[in-house]
Chain A
Amino acid sequence: MNTINYSEKIPNNVNLSGDRALQRALEHWQPNFLQWWAEMGPEGTRDASVYLRTAVSVDAGGWAHFDHVRMPDYRWGIFLTPADAERRIHFGEHLGEAVWQDVPGEHRANLRRIIVTQGDTEPASIEQQRHLGLTAPSLYDLRNLFQINVEEGRHLWAMVYLLHRHFGRDGREEADALLQRRSGDADHPRILGAFNERTPDWLAFFMFTYFTDRDGKFQLCALAESGFDPLARTTKFMLTEEAHHMFVGESGVSRVVQRTCQVMKELGTDDPARVRAAGVIDLPTIQRYLNFHFAVTIDLFGADQSSNAATFYGAGLKGRFEEGKRDDDHRLHGLTYAVQEVVDGRIVTRDVPMLNALNEVLRDDFIRDSVGGIGRWNKVIEKAGLAFRLTVPHKAFNRKIGTFANVRVAPDGRVVNEAEWAAHQSAWLASAEDRAFVASLMGRVIAPGQFANWIAPPAMGVNKQPVDFDYVRFN
C-alpha cells in the first residue's frame, strides 16, 4: 500500500518516523515554511474553505481526493512514487548500472544545484501569484488558483525533503535559503529570470501556467529519468500534479479567446478598440501576451550550448524528455544536433555535438508541445468563423539568454535593426498600455456560477461538480 499517513505532523509515505533526526530537522523547517506561507502565500485566504484535490495515496485511485479544506488546515506532505527495485540508469556513462539510492560523492554539488534550482521555482510562482485571488473572475478560477498554489507549495516540500535527507548541513542551509529569496526582490531575487517577472493579471497567469508550468513539466520529465532514484521518484509524482496547472493555463486562455470571439461576432467587428470597449480582451493583445510569455519561458532552458548540460547527462543526473522512448544509444557520443545562430545578419543552422546541445533539445521538445495547444486555441477562433490566428513567435524572438540574447529578431524570424525593433515593439510585446487595459478588466466575481465579462465559463466543472458549485466558501 502507498497510503499516506495523515496522522503524523508531516504527512508522508517515506516512513519519516523511522528516521528521527530527519523528522526533527523537517519539523524544525515546517514552522518557517508556514510563516513564509502566511507572509507570501495567497492573499486574503485565511478563512476560506476551498474544494481541493488532496493526495490520500500515490496510486492512481488515491491521489485525487476532493473535498472542501479550510486553507489554514491544509497540510503539506512528502510523497514519492513507489520504488522499483529493478530500476537501472538508462543513459549516460553509467548506463546499465543500478540507480543510486544515495548521492554519489562526485555528483553531490551538481545534484544539489539541480534540486535547488528546481526547488526555487516553486515558492517563486506562489509569490508571483499572491495577489491574483483578489481579482479572480469566478469561484471556479479562484479554486484553481488555490489548487495550483498549494501544490507548488508541496513541490517545494518535495525538494526540501531531498535536500534534508541527502545533503546534510549544506542541504538544510539551502532549504532555509529557499524561504529567504523573494520573487522580484532586488537584493535576494529568485534564481531564474522568469520567476522574477510579475504575474499582475489573470491573462498573464493563464499564459504563465500554460508556458512556464510547461517548462516545469519538461524539467521534471528530464529529472524523472535521473539515476538518482529519490529525485526520479519525487519528480514523477510532482508531474501528475503539474498536469493540472497546464490545464488551467490552456483552458484559461481558451476561455478568454472564446469570450472575445463571441463578442466580436455579436458586434460584427475585429476592431480592437471596439472589442476593448465591449469589455473583453482583443485577440492582438492576447497574441502580444503570448509572445512575451513564450520568449521568457524558453529562456529558462538555458544556453543553447552548455557543458553543464553535457555533464549532467553524461553523469546520469538529468536525462532528455522521454529518454526511455528514444532509440539512440543513450550516450550520444558522436551525434550532432542542429542549433541556430545569427551570422551576418541572418539566422543560420549549424550542427554541434548533441551532448553540448541538450538544453536546445529540451527547448525544441517544449516548443513542439506548446504549439499543439495554440492550435487548439485557433480551433476556437475557427469555430467562431473568424479569420484571426494565434501564432508562436520564432524561438530567436526577444531572447535574453543564449546566442540570441543580443540580437533583435522579429516574431517571424527576421533579424531587424534597433530602429525597426523600437518601432514595432509595442505591436509584438504586451505594452504598459496593454497591461493597464487588461488590469482595468480585473475585478473579483464570487457569486457561484457567475463569471467576469471577459472570460467564458468552462465546459465542465471540477470533479464532475456543476460549474455553479461553491468551489470556495468564505467563512
Chain B
Amino acid sequence: MNVDADQVAPVSPLLRQHLIDPEICIRCNTCEETCPLDAITHDSRNYVVDPAVCNACNACVSPCPTGAIDNWRNVPRTSAWSLADQLQWDVLPPPTASAPDDTGGVPAEIAAITALASAGQGGTSAAPWSAATPSINLHPPGRPAVATVTGNFRLTAEGTTSDIRHLVLDFGSIAFPVLEGQTIGIVPPGRDADGRPHHVRLYSVASPRDGERPRYNNVAITVKRVTEDHAGQPIAGIASNYLCDLERGANVQVVGPFGASYLMPDHPGARLLMICTGTGSAPMRAMTERRRRRMALGEGGDLMLFFGARTPEELPYCGPLMKLPASFIDINLAYSRVPGQPRQYVQDLIRARGADVARRLADPQTFIYVCGLKGMEQGVADAFREVCTKHGQDWDALLPALRAQGRYHLETY
C-alpha cells in the first residue's frame, strides 16, 4: 500500500472515542495523573475523557490498574459523548450498530484507509493460518515513534518521469516490530492550509521482519513522488515529496504498525502467487526477501510473480529481482509503455500463464497477494475469472472460499 493522495476525508467523520468503564474503574486518579494533555477529569461520581482533547496516545492505558481505561467506541464525530454525558453514566453505553467497534485497536482514520484499500475484495480477508502474530498500533497517531533515515535511494532510472525511492528508517532502541505485508504510517511535519496537523499516510513495508539489514532495527518503504493526482492534474503530494527529499540522518515520525490480515504464511511448503504494479511491489519485495534469506532451509513452496510497470527503467527493484534463480521464483514482467511494443498488463500475463495459475488457485498451499493501483483490480479479477472458466473452476464461488481460508489478499489505492 502506498496511500498518499487525499483519498480519505481530511478529518475522518468517525471518531474512535476513548471512554472509561464506570463499573470497573476504582477512581484511583492514575489516568488523570498520567495524561500528558490533561484530557481526563473527574467528579465525585466518574472519571471521564474529553473527546476534544484526547489524542489516543494510550499513555494512560498501561498504568490503569483495572482495565477500565481501555474502552473505545467508533462514533460519528459530530455526536461524540460529552463530558456531561459521561459524568452521568453508571454503565458504558452499548456499542452502536451503525458504528461497529471492531477495528482491532486501530484508530478510525487508519481503519478508514484500510477499508478503502481492501474494498475491491469486499473487506479484509482472514490472515493465513500460519501467519505470525502481528504487533498492531504500538505507536498510535498521538504518540509516534521517531525513526532516523539511514538510506534514501532512487529505484527508477534517472531521466524517467517516475521517481520511486527506497527509504530505510532506523528505529534505534525503539521497539517497532513489523511483518511482511504490514503497513506503517508517516506523519508529515507541519500543518495543512486549515491549520490542522497533516493526516497519516500509510506505506507497506518493503523489508522482511528481521530488518532491511538482517538483525538491525530498521524498516524499508517504497515511496513514489506524487506529482499529479489520479486525474492527471499537477499536484505535489505532501508526504511523498517530504519523504523523497529526506536526507540521511533526518528524523521521521512513524506510527503503527498496522495490518492484521495481509500477512504471509510461515509454514513450510506454502506457495506465494504475487501480482503487483509500481510501488505495490513493496510487500512482494518484503515477502520475497524473507523467503530468499531462508532459501538454504529448503522449506519448499515456490514463488510466482506478476509485476507490471510502464517501462523496464521504471520497474522498482528490477536489478536484484532479475538475479534471483528461476528455481526460486517464476518472474513475469509486463510493460505498458515500451516504444514500439504493444501495451502489456499483468492481467495479460496471467491469462498467458493460465494453466499454471489455475493449478495454484486449486492448490490449498497457494496464497495470493495483489497490490497496486485501483485500476488493476478489475483487470486482475477478470483474468482470474477467465482462467478459472477455462480450467473448469468457478471464480465467483472460489473467491469467498479463498478469502475465508486466508489465501487471497488485495490492497489497492
Contacts of B26 in A (CB 8 A): 243, 246-247, 250-251, 373
Which A residues, 370 to 387, have Cβ-Cβ distances below 8 Å to chain B? 372-373, 376, 379
Residues on A with beta carbons closer than 8 Å to the beta carbon of B67? 460, 462-464
Whether B24 and A244, one on each chain, are in contact in the complex, defined by CB atoms closer than 8 angstroms, is no
B66 at the interface (CB under 8 A from A): yes
A60 at the interface (CB under 8 A from B): yes
Is B44 in the interface zone, CB < 8 Å from A? yes
Residues of A within 8 A of B28 (CB): 217, 243, 246-247
Q: Are B23 and A63 in contact (CB under 8 A)?
A: no
B234 CB to closest chain A CB (Å) equals 43
Contact A379 B90 (CB under 8 A): yes
A459: B residues at CB distance < 8 A = 23-24
Contacts of A250 in B (CB 8 A): 26
Q: Kindly provide the distance from the CB of B52 to the nearest chain A CB, expressed in whole angstroms.
A: 21
In the complex, number of A-B residue pairs with CB atoms less than 8 Å apart: 49
- Which residues of A (33-61) have their CB < 8 Å from a CB of B? 60-61
A368 smallest CB distance to B (angstroms):
8
Interface residues on chain B, number (Cβ under 8 Å): 18
Most chain A C-beta atoms within 10 Å of own C-beta, residue among B28, B29, B34, B90 = B28
Q: Does B331 count as interface, using CB distance less than 8 angstroms?
A: no
Q: B30, A61: Cβ atoms under 8 Å?
A: no
Asked if residues B65 and A247 are in contact (CB atoms below 8 Å), the reply is yes
- For B23, the closest partner residue in chain A by CB is A459
Task: Bits for A200-211, please: 1 = Cβ < 8 Å to B, else 0.
Answer: 000000000000
Q: How far is the CB of A248 from chain B (nearest CB, A)?
A: 8
Q: Does B163 contact A (CB under 8 A)?
A: no
Q: Which residues of A contact B302 (CB under 8 A)?
A: none
Any chain B CB within 8 A of the CB of A240?
Answer: yes
Instruction: Tell me the residues in window 41-87 of chain A with beta carbons closer than 8 Å to chain B beta carbons.
Output: 60-61, 63-64
Min CB gap A320→B, angstroms? 15
Q: Which of B56-64, B210-218, B338-346 contacts A (4 or more CB under 8 A)?
A: B56-64
B59 lies within 8 A of A464 (CB): no
Residues of B within 8 A of A239 (CB): 30
- Picked from A243, A251, A376, A462, the residue with its CB within 8 Å of the CB of B30 is A243
| Smallest beta-carbon distance A463→chain B, Å | 8
Contacts of A462 in B (CB 8 A): 67
* B154 interfacial by beta-carbon distance below 8 Å: no
Chain A residues near B59 (CB, 8 Å)? 60-61
The 4 closest A-B pairs by CB, nearest first: A244-B65, A243-B28, A64-B62, A60-B59
9 contacts between A and B (CB under 8 A): A60-B62, A63-B63, A251-B66, A372-B44, A376-B23, A379-B23, A379-B90, A459-B23, A460-B24
B residues sitting closer than 8 Å to A (CB atoms) are 23-24, 26-30, 34, 44, 59-60, 62-63, 65-67, 70, 90
